[in-house]
């Protein structure tokens, strides 16, 4: 089993070419792959100005708001329009078309998953705890696929009892591996879980 813990604050930002934001790359596969050669890529972007998202032909994308009032996404070919304004709710769209992004009320931070169509697919889930309830339901991390978890709100504890705060996360690769859990340590906790599979067979990556 290969487990890596990360903190967004510890990842160096990369400026967008158009000056509209910065990106922090959490993980990419294969390791070190360029933008035209990855199978999957997970990152966090800070959007500070209105502007375009680049088209990524052959790429399926999923995005979720982490912080801020949100952003409106409009495909230039008119195929979709979406108001991304609910924290933690993923929105899936094709990277085949260019997209214009308009901030609703100031900068936002967004979680991004990109997978190369035909090679792999991602399941992105928002996992929440009930608000104002003593119930603490562990989140199962299945050992049959590569999995990344990023904490959005509240504190979580890993199987060893170590704390993960907002902006912290863990990446499990080299499946198969033993199942494990993350447990919320307080009410209103939220994390995003990304499970990655081979596109054709559904086998773990």
Q: Write down all domains in the chain, each with its CATH number in brackets.
A: 8-116 (2.60.120.10), 120-198 (2.60.120.10)
- Distance in angstroms (rounded) separating the CA atoms of residues 29 and 37: 9
Q: Which residue has the tokens 């936002």?
A: 108
Tens-digit pLDDT profile for residues 95-145: 999 999 999 999 999 999 999 999 999 999 998 875 443 444 555 555 556
pLDDT of residue 133: 39
**Closest to 139 (Cα-Cα) out of 101, 102, 172:** 172
- Distance in angstroms (rounded) separating the CA atoms of residues 91 and 152: 16
Read off the pTM.
Answer: 0.89
pLDDT of residue 46: 96
Instruction: Extract the residue ranges of the chain whose pLDDT is less than 50.
Output: 131-136
Phi, psi of 8 (to 5 degrees): -60, -35
- Edge-first strand listing for the sheet containing 139-141: 139-141, 180-184, 156-157, 163-164
* Cβ proximity of 35 and 14 under 8 Å: no
pLDDT of residue 181: 79
- Distance in angstroms (rounded) separating the CA atoms of residues 99 and 36: 18
CB under 8 Å to 134, separation ≥6 — which residues?
Answer: none
């Amino acid at each position: 089993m290969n487990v890596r813990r990360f903190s967004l604050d510890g990842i160096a930002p990369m400026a967008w070419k158009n000056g509209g934001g910065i990106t922090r790359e959490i993980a990419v596969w294969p390791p070190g792959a360029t933008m035209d050669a990855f199978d999957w890529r997970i990152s966090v972007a800070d959007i500070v100005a209105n502007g375009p998202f680049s088209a990524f032909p052959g790429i399926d994308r999923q995005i979720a708001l982490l912080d801020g009032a949100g952003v409106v996404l409009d495909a230039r070919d008119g195929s979709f329009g979406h108001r991304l304004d609910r924290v933690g709710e993923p929105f899936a769209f094709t990277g085949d078309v260019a997209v214009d992004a308009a901030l609703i009320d100031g900068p936002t931070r967004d979680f991004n998953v990109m997978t190369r169509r035909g090679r792999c697919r991602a399941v992105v889930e928002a996992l929440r705890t009930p608000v104002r309830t003593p119930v603490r339901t562990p989140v199962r991390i299945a050992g049959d696929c590569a999995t990344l978890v990023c904490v959005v709100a509240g504190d979580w504890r890993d199987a060893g009892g170590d704390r993960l705060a907002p902006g912290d996360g863990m990446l499990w690769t080299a499946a198969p591996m033993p199942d494990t859990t993350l447990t919320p340590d307080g009410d209103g906790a939220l994390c995003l879980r990304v499970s990655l599979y081979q596109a054709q067979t559904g086998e773990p990556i």
